[in-house]
Structure 1
Amino acid sequence: MKSLIAKKIKQFDYTLLFVIVFLAVFGIMMVYSSSYTIAYVDYGIPNYFYRRQLQWLFIGLFFFVLAAFFPYRVYSKLSPLLVMASILLLILVLIPGIGSERNYSQRWIELGPLAFQPTEVIKLFMIIYFASFYAKRQQTISHFKDGVLPPMLILAIIFLLILKQPDLGSAASILFVCAIIVICSGVKMKHLFMLGCVGLVGLLFFAYSSPYRVERITSFVDPFADPFGDGYQLINGYIAIGTGGMWGTGLGNGVQKLGFLPEAHTDFIMAIIIEELGMIGLIIVICSYMFIMFRGVRIARGCKDMFAKLLAIGITFQIMTQVVINLGAVSGLLPITGITLPLISYGGSSLVITMVSLGILLNLSTRDTGTG
C-alpha cells in the first residue's frame, strides 16, 4: 500500500499542483484585502471573511489530498446515488426552514452554523454522472434513445430545480459543461445538433420568462441607464478597473471595496484585483487559469480509460466555464449571475468543491490512467 502511494506521489503533475496552490493562496490574500472594511462594518472584526475563508481552505485541502489518492473508478459506481442525492438536495433547498434565502435567492441549506450551496456540489456530481454514463455506453453511443437521451432527462430535472432558486448562471454552466462531455464522448453530429437546438431554445425561454432574469440579463448592456439601480455594481466595477491601470494602486490600497462596490470579495473580486494589482494582476490570474486548462486537456488526452478522460474534460471545463462567466460579468460582456471566481472568490462551498475537483484532476494526472 505504501509503495503504491509513493509511486502515485512521484507521478503527480507538480506544475499543476503548484498553480492550484498559488491561486488558492492568492485568493486568501485577495479575500482579506477586498473584505476587511465590510467585515469590520458588519461584524466588528476586520479579518472575519479572511478567517472563514482560511478555515474553508484547510477543509478543502484535506479533501483535495483525499481526492488525489482515492480510486477514481469508485465515482463511476456511485454515480446513480450521486444523481439521487442531487435531486434530493435541490428539493430540500426549496423547502422553507431548510433552505435559506439570501439576496432574493434560495440557494443555501443551513445546518446550524454551517451553510452550503447544493448547486456547487451538484456541478461535480453531474460531471461524474455524465462521464460515467457515456463511458459505459460507447457501444450504443450512436443510438439516440438508449445511448444519448437518458442523461438529458436527468439534466432537465436538475436544470428546472436550479431555476426555481433562481440561479440561471449555475444552471447554464452545468448545461454547458454536460454538453462538452457529450461532444467529447463521440455522439453523432445530428444528435448533437438536435440537443443543441433544444438546449438553446430552452435556455433562452427560461432566461426571458421572468422579469427578474430579464433585468439581470439586460442591465449589462447599458448599466448607465440605471446607475443607482441595476447598473450600480457594474459601474463601480468599471471604476475599480479603470483606476488600476497597468500596475494598480498597490495591494490593500483599493477604494471601491470601501463600501462602493457590492460583493467586492465574492463575484466582483477581479475588479479589486485589477484596481490594486493592475493589468499585471489580471494577466497573472488569466495565465494561471489557462495553464490549468492546458494541463487538464493534456491529462484528458493521455487517459486511456474513457471515464477518466471524460471526467478530466468535465472538471477542466467546469472551472474554465466559471472563469469565463465571472470575468465576462465583471467586464460587462456577460450578464451578472453571481458565479464566483474559482479558488479566489470568497465562498466556502465553491472553494471546497473546486479543491475536490482539482484533487480528482491531479489524481488522473498519474500514469495509472494512461497519461504520459
Structure 2
Amino acid sequence: MIHRQATVGESRQLVPDLDYPLIFAAVGLLGLGLVMVASASMHRITDAPFYFINRHLIAIALGFVGSLIITQIPVAQWERSGPVLYFVGLFLLMLVLVPGVGREANGATRWIPLGPFNLQSSEFMKLFMVVYIAGYLVRRQLEVALSVWGFIKPMLLLVVACSLIMVQPDFGTTTVILATAMGMLFLGGVPLWQFAILIGLAGTSLVGLVLLSPYRLQRVTAFLDPWADVENSGYQLAQALIAFGRGEWFGVGLGSGIQKQFYLPEAHTDFLMAVIGEEFGLFGTLVVIALFAVIVWRAFRTGMRAERVNQKFAAYVAYGLGLWLGMQAFINMGVNVGLLPTKGLTLPLMSYGGNSIIVAMLVVAMLVRIDYELNRPDAVKQGGVQ
C-alpha cells in the first residue's frame, strides 16, 4: 500500500486556523477558576459540599455549547442583528424590574428565574451593547467623526440601558459598560475634544451617583482606609489583604487557605482573587494576570488585523470585547488588593456565577470566530468552522 504525506494545504484543512493562544489562555483561566471555586466553596454547605462546584460545571457546559453555536455564526450576521440584540437586552432589563418577575438577593433585583437557572440580563446586555455600538460605528462612521450628534446618539441609548441597570442596582456593571462604550467610540474616531467632554460628563455622573447613595459613598471611603472600620465597612477588604499577606511568594498551598473558611465573605465570587493570592501567592496572581493579558493582547491583535483588511465591524467588536474583559478583570483585581472601592464584579472566566461564566465564554468564542474569518475568508460563505 502506498502512503503519502499530507500536504500543507491538506493539513490546514484538518487543523482549523484558530487563535490557539487565546483558546489556551481562556481554558487555563476556566480550569484554574474551577479549581479555586471548589477550594473556596466546599466548606460553605456541609451537607452538600459540591453544590457550588456542580452549578459551576453546569455553567461551563452551557457556555461551551453556546460557544460552539457562536463559532458557527458569521460575523456579518452579528452586524445585522445589532439593533435587535440591543432592544432584546433592553426588554430583559425592564423585565427584571417587573414585580413578581425579578428575583431579589442581597438587596438587588438582577435575576429572572427560569426554572433551575437565573438569567442575569445585565451580563448579556454588556455583550449586546458591544455588538450594537460596533455596528453603529460602521454605519455612521463619518457622522461619528465629524458631528457632535454622531456620538451623542449612541450615548443616549447607552444612558437608557445604564439607567435600568442602576435601578437594580448594579453600579459595577454600569461602570464597565460605560467605560467599554467610551473606549469603542474613541477607537471609532470620536474627536479628542468630544471624547474629553464625554469622559467629564460620565465621570461627573458616576461621582454624583456615589454622593447621592450613602452605601456607595461608604464603599468608596472604606477602601481608602479599611483598617479605620475593620469590623464593618472595611471588613471585606481587610480580610482580602490579610489573605494576600499570608500567601507571600508562593502561597500556603491549594486548599490550605484560612481566610476563605472563616473570614472572607463571597470568597468564591467577588474575592476569588484573594483566595488565589493566599493559596498560590504572588506567583499565582501573576499567572492569572498574564493569562488575562494574553486574552486582551489577542483581542486587540485580532482587531488590528481586521482593521487592516477593512473589516471595521469585526475590528470594533474585537476591541470592545478586549476592553470589556480587560477592564472587568482589572476592576475585580483592583478591588481585591484595595486599589479600587468594592464594586461587586466577578472575575471573568473564573468566579462562581453562571451568567458571568457563560457570557465570558461567548466572548472568547466571538473572538475566535473573528480571527478564523480573517484567516479563512471562505468561512464567510461556508457559514461555520470547517
Amino acid in structure 2 at the alignment position of 1:242: G
State how many pairs are aligned. Answer: 365
Residue aligning to 1:355: 361
Amino acid at match of 1:275: E
Whether contact under 8 Å (1:244, 1:279) holds in the other structure is yes
Q: What displacement does 1:337 show?
A: 0.8
What is the CA deviation profile of residues 114-171 of structure 1, one whole-angstrom value per residue up to 9, with x for unaligned ones? 1121111000010001001001112322343553221111001111111111111110
Tell me the equivalent position of 2:372.
366
How far did residue 9 of structure 1 move?
A: 5.6
Query: Which AA in structure 1 matches 2:21?
Result: T
Aligned-residue offset at 1:28:
0.6
Worse overlay, 105-114 or 254-263: 105-114
The 10-residue stretch of structure 1 (74-83 or 29-38) with the greater mean CA deviation from structure 2: 74-83
1:182 & 1:123 partners in 2: Cα distance?
A: 15
2:127 corresponds to 1:124: yes
Q: Distance in 2 between matches of 1:26 and 1:159?
A: 32
Partner of 2:316: 310
Equivalent of 1:295 in 280, 298, 309 = 298
- Decide whether the 8 Å contact of 2:295 with 2:322 is kept in 1: yes
For residue 45 of structure 2, give the secondary structure of its aligned residue in structure 1: helix
How does the TM-score come out when normalised to structure 2? 0.91
Q: Cα deviations across residues 30-53 of structure 1 (Å, max 9, x unaligned)?
A: 11011001132xxx2111101110
For structure 2, which runs of at least 5 residues remain unmatched after alignment?
Answer: 1-8, 378-386
Separation in 2, partners of 1:205, 1:274: 34
* Paired AA for residue 364 in structure 1: I
Of 236, 245, 254, the match for 1:251: 254
Partner of 1:94: 97
Secondary structure of the residue aligned to 1:91 is helix
CA contact (8 A) 1:37 1:259 kept: no
Cα 1:7–1:147 shift into 2, 3 Å: farther
1:272 matched to 2:275? The reply is yes
CA distance in 2, matches of 1:182, 1:368: 23
- Please give the alpha-carbon distance, in whole angstroms, between the structure 2 residues aligned to 1:140 and 1:16: 34
The alpha-carbon deviation at position 278 of structure 1 amounts to 0.9
CA RMSD of aligned residues (A): 1.8
1:370 Cα deviation (Å)? Answer: 8.4
Which residue in the other structure is 1:53 paired with? Answer: 56
Superposed CA offset, 1:9-64 (max 9, x none): 62111121111111111111111011001132xxx211110111011101111111
Name which of structure 1's ranges 176-185 and 214-223 shifts more when overlaid on structure 2.
Answer: 214-223
Quote how far apart the aligned CAs of 1:245 are. Answer: 0.8
Deviation string, structure 1 residues 158-197 (Cα, Å, up to 9, x no partner): 1111111111111011000001100110112222122222
CA distance in 2, matches of 1:218, 1:91: 32
Matched, 1:17 2:23: yes
State the distance in 1 between where 2:185 and 2:85 align.
19
One-letter code of the match for 2:126?
Answer: K
Q: Distance in 2 between matches of 1:134 and 1:147?
A: 9
Alignment counterpart, residue 151 of structure 2, candidates 127, 148, 151: 148
2:108 is the alignment partner of 1:108:
no
The amino acid that maps onto 2:292 is: Y
Distance in structure 2 (CA, Å) of the matches to 1:139 and 1:274: 47
- Tell me the equivalent position of 1:182: 185
Alignment of 1:39 with 2:45, yes or no, is: yes
Equivalent-residue separation in structure 2 for 1:141 and 1:9 (angstroms): 40
Aligned partner letter, 2:374: D
Do residues 322 (structure 1) and 328 (structure 2) align? yes
Deviates more, 1:298-307 or 1:72-81: 72-81
* 2:238 pairs with 1:235: yes
Question: Which consecutive segments of 4 or more residues in structure 1 shift more than 4 A?
Answer: 6-9
- 1:169 alignment partner in structure 2: 172
Q: Using the alignment, how far apart are the partners of 1:232 and 1:30 within structure 2?
A: 22
Corresponding position of 1:342: 348
Correspondent of 2:163 among 160, 165, 168 = 160
- Cα deviation, 1:307-362, whole Å, max 9, x if unaligned, reads 00000000011001111110010011101111000111000000000000110001
Which stretches in structure 1 are left out of the alignment for 5+ residues?
Answer: none
